[in-house]
Structures are given as structure tokens and as C-alpha cells.
A and B are shown apart, each in its own frame.
Chain A
Amino acid sequence: MSLPAPKQISPLIRFGRWTALISGVIYGASRLRSLTAKEVDIQKHENEIRARRDARLKRERERDSLVEMQALAKEAGVPQN
């Protein structure tokens, strides 16, 4: 099997391909940089929300466990003061 000779591709097509490739690399890199920069502020805002939510959940869990322990104590017959 003899392979055909390499074909001469028109320079316009090659120019289009390589321009698209290089501009794609630039676009991807610059978009990655801008999105990472935006994410810093979003994370700062979300960290505050997360801190508030964790504090609330901790409070609710402690309150629920306190109620449970009091109910258990009543069942077990521990003298209530």
C-alpha cells in the first residue's frame, strides 16, 4: 500500500486554523484567570454565610440534645429538680 503524497493545504485555511488555535488558548487562559479572581469575592461572601449557618446548626443541635436528655432523664426516673 503506497500512501499518497502530502497535500498542499491553502495558506488561508492554515492561517484560519492556527489563528483559531492560538486565540482559543488566549481566551481559555484569560477566562480562567478572570473567573478565579471573581471566585475569591464569592468565597468570602459564602464563608460568612457558612459560618452563620454552622453556628445556627450547632445551637439547634445542642438545644435538641438537651431536650432529649431531659426526656430520657424523666423516663429513667431521675429526680427532677
Chain B
Amino acid sequence: MAQAAQKAGGLATRLVNTAKGIQSYSTPRLQTFWKYAKVELRPPTLSEMPQVQEGINNIIVSARTGKWKKLTVKESLINSVIVLECIFCFTLGEIIGKRSLVGYNIPGAFYPSS
């Protein structure tokens, strides 16, 4: 009985210590993540829209006049990776929108039980 009470007390303190450990480990790392995300991942503000428009015009003009043939291989590789990243963002958005990781969960459709 006394041993059981001691074990129960031990479990509570161990849970509290685990929570404290998680908090102390994650807080500085989350802070560094937020420090970078605030600058690098923020959406473009209204004041930056002219630059966006200019960038799109540059792409259209270079596609029309054939300036894209004068890009270096390194630049074109970087551009391809950026386009791939945008496609990944679209897929991530689709996962969020369909609320399932793989495939659409339609109620009533056939799901083969594995």
C-alpha cells in the first residue's frame, strides 16, 4: 500500500519532469524557427506586389523574346527547383484541403481492408 502510493507519486513527478523537459528543449528551437520563418516564409505584403508583377513580366518577356535560352545551366536548375517547390506547396495545400494524407476519404466508397 505504502509502496503503491510511493510509486503513484513517482509517476506524477516523472510526468511533470517530462513536460518540463519537453518545454525546455523545444522553446529555444521553436524560437529560432520562428526567427527565420518570420522573414523567409511570410506571405508577400501589398507593398511588394509591384515587384511580383515585375517578376512575372520578366518571365513573360524572356519567354517571348527567347532570352531564356541565354540562362546558365545553374540558374535554370535553380529555377526548376523553385517551380518544384511551388508544386510541393500545392500538394501540401491539397492534403490540407482534402483532410487526409493519402487519397480522398469518401463516405460510402469501397475501402479494401488490409
Contacts and interface: CB of A to CB of B under 8 A. Distances in A.
A51 interface: no
Given A7-B40, A16-B82, A24-B90, A29 B106 contact: no
Query: In the complex, which range does the number of interface residues on chain A fall in?
Result: 20 to 34
B106 A15 contact: no
B62 interface: no
A15 B47 CA distance: 12
- Majority DSSP secondary structure for residues of A touching B: helix
Contacts of A8: 39-40
A35 B38 CA distance: 37
Interface of A: 3, 6-18, 20-32, 35-36, 39-40, 42-43
Given A10-B55, A20-B87, A23-B93, 6 more contacts: A6-B36, A12-B55, A25-B93, A28-B95, A28-B98, A31-B98
